[in-house]
Each structure stands twice: as C-alpha cells, then as structure tokens.
Amino acid sequence: MEVKKILVVGAGQMGSGIAQVAAQTGYDVTLNDINMELVEKGLNVIKKNLDRAVSKGKMTEDDKNKVLERIKLADNLEPAKEADLVIEAVVENLSVKEQVFRKLDELAPSHTILATNTSSLPITKIASFTKRPEKVIGMHFMNPVPVMKLVEIINALQTDPEVTKTVKEVAEKMGKVPIECKDVPGFVSNRVLMVMINEAIWELYEGVAPAENIDNIMKLGMNHPMGPLALADLIGLDTVLAILNVLYEGYGDPKYRPCPLLKAYVDAGWLGRKTGKGFYEYK
C-alpha cells in the first residue's frame, strides 16, 4: 500500500520529531494535539530544528519552507478521515491511548494503518480497542527522532504482515532502520534500557555516587554517548516511570520495581528536560 498522508497524534517531543521527519521525507503531514497552543509548541520545535539545519548549511531556506508547507495543524482528529497512516504519540497512558484509538478507528477509512509510538504498552491490547486490529502496529521511534536511526517495529498478535511491510517501507523512506520484534512488555529496547536507568536511580538514591559520577562512569567506562540519568531526563521521568510500571506489572518481577526516588521526582513535577529540572537542571 502506498502511504501519502500521515496524521501524527500528540505534538510533544516525539510527535513533533516524527512530523518533522515525515514532512522532510515528502509526506503530507497533519500534526495534532489537544489544543492549538500545544500544536504550535510542537511546530515551533520543528521550526527551530529546521532553522538550525539551514544555519549549518544542511538545508536551504527554500527546502525548509517546503517542509513547513507540508505540515498542517489540528486540535481534533478529523484529519484521520484523509490519512493513510496515523502515528499516535500521546502520553504513555493506556486509557488515553484507548480513547484516541477508538476515535481514530471511527473516523479513519478502512485502509488506514493505525500505528502507535508507545514505549512499552501492549500493542495487542491497543489493537483490540479497534475494529481493525490487523491494521494496528507499534512503530517505536527513538528520541530525538530526527537524529536516531532505529524504529522498533512491534507486531501485535493480530497485525497483518502487509501492514508490517508497509510501515517498514515508510520507516526506510524516512531514512530509518526498522527492526522487528514481538509484542512483550517494554519490547526489546526498553526491557533492557529501563533496568539500567532504574538501577542508576537506585544508586543515586542509596548515595553510591552523585549523578555526574554515575553518568561519567557509564559514559567513559561503557562508551555510552550519554549517562543513564541524563538519558532519563531526555526521555522524561514521567515516561520512564510509566514504562517501569508496565514492565513491573507485565512480568510481575521485582527486578523492574521503580525506585522511590523516581516516583518522588515525578510527584514533584521534576520530569527532566521538558520541565527544566530532573536529575540535572536545564536553562
């Protein structure tokens, strides 16, 4: 199936990144959020990224304008009626995703593929919220989307192999490398990553070392480009906690139990880069 129009639902850090890359690839994109202020905020992030690319000589002003012309904005899901592919990137909360998928299923034509960028929630369950479970799939982009190559492709039990083929082609057109895995809590990526991040938070909680030392040990010792605490701040501590809860509940294994310090930071609204404070402070 040929995809021409893409609707991205949720204009936060992931949704805006996905919309940017899709528009740069030549797709007609609509970026949605719950109100126009949030949609504009997402668009401004895209504009800043494109301005930076122009100032570095990686893109012309004309190309930038063409990319921006391909992005429409919406505070409702009506554009699903026109979309060939919807990529959902709203908050990591199953009941919010349920509402969104039920509405998308109602509005979108029967050929439309409904993909989710969830970090950990069961795709099989999300598919069951619709009357087209065979057209639902996980398309897990990495943060920051314009930079990171991987798209983890997660097949629900019900996913039609043709749908998998189509979204892999879309990801490749976007310059990404799609890699498939089965639908288990946390998939491949976050089942591994979140255990490491949580362990680093436990170390901070126990006073084993300050945040900078924990991160520098992992950067210099393991050749990681970023330390686990800085990475948690980039992902968003609310998202990290939500993923750990899915892992903990999904496997019933205490190795995934979220550190109380993480819960306290989320309660305090210290969510990382997006709020200006997490394990580090951001201006």
Minimum CB distance to ligand NAD, residue 236 (Å): 5
Q: Judged by CB under 6 A, does residue 122 bind ligand NAD? A: no
- Report the distance separating Cα 88 and Cα 10, nearest Å: 7
| Residue 84 touching ligand NAD (CB under 6 A) | no
Query: How crowded is the C-beta side of 18, counted as CA atoms within 13 Å?
Result: 32
The tokens describing 156, both together, are: 């629900």
The closest residue (CB) to ligand NAD is 12
Question: One of 32, 92, 120, 140 is an active-site residue; which one?
Answer: 140
Least separation in angstroms between residue 66's CB and ligand NAD is: 25
Q: Which of 49, 152, 155, 203 is catalytic?
A: 152
Residue list 85-104, contact with ligand NAD (CB under 6 A): 89-92, 96, 100
Distance CA(26)–CA(247), nearest Å, equals 36
Residue 136 near ligand NAD by CB under 6 A: no
Rule CB under 6 A: say whether 20 interacts with ligand NAD.
no
Sequence-separated (6 or more) residues with CB below 8 Å from residue 164: 137, 153, 155, 180
Q: Which structure tokens are listed for 259?
A: 């550190």
According to DSSP H, which parts of 26-82 are helical? 36-55, 61-69
119 among known catalytic residues: yes
Name which of 11 and 153 has its Cβ closer to ligand NAD. 11
**Please, what is the minimum distance in Å from the beta carbon of residue 208 to ligand NAD?**
25
> With CB under 6 A, what is the number of residues at the site for ligand NAD?
27
Question: Which of the stretches 43-51, 60-68, 136-144, 155-163 binds ligand NAD when contact is defined by CB under 6 A?
Answer: 136-144
Q: How many CB atoms lie within 10 A of CB 242?
A: 20
Interaction between residue 49 and ligand NAD (CB under 6 A): no
For residue 270, give the amino acid letter: W
179 binding ligand NAD? (CB under 6 A)? no
Which of the residues 88, 190, 198, 203 is marked catalytic? Answer: 190
Quote the CA–CA distance of 192 and 186 in Å, as a whole number. Answer: 8
How far is CA 106 from its chain centroid?
23
Who's near 65: CB < 8 A, 6+ residues apart?
A: none
What does the alpha-carbon distance between residue 167 and residue 124 come to, in Å, rounded to a whole number? 17
For 242-283, the DSSP string reads HHHHHHHHHH--GGGPPPHHHHHHHHTT--BGGGTBSSSB--
How far apart CA 165 and CA 153 sit, in angstroms, is: 10
CB of 108 to ligand NAD, least distance (A): 15
Task: Verify binding: residue 74, ligand NAD, rule CB under 6 A.
Answer: no
Tell me if 112 contacts ligand NAD by CB under 6 A.
no
Sole binder of ligand NAD in the list 28, 33, 183, 203 (CB under 6 A): 33
Our answer to whether residue 93 is catalytic in this structure is no
Q: Is 114 in the site for ligand NAD (CB under 6 A)?
A: no
The answer to whether 140 is a known catalytic residue is: yes
> Interface residues with ligand NAD (CB under 6 A)?
9-15, 32-34, 38, 89-92, 96, 100, 117-119, 140-141, 143, 235-236, 239, 274
What are the residue numbers of the active site?
Answer: 119, 140, 152, 190
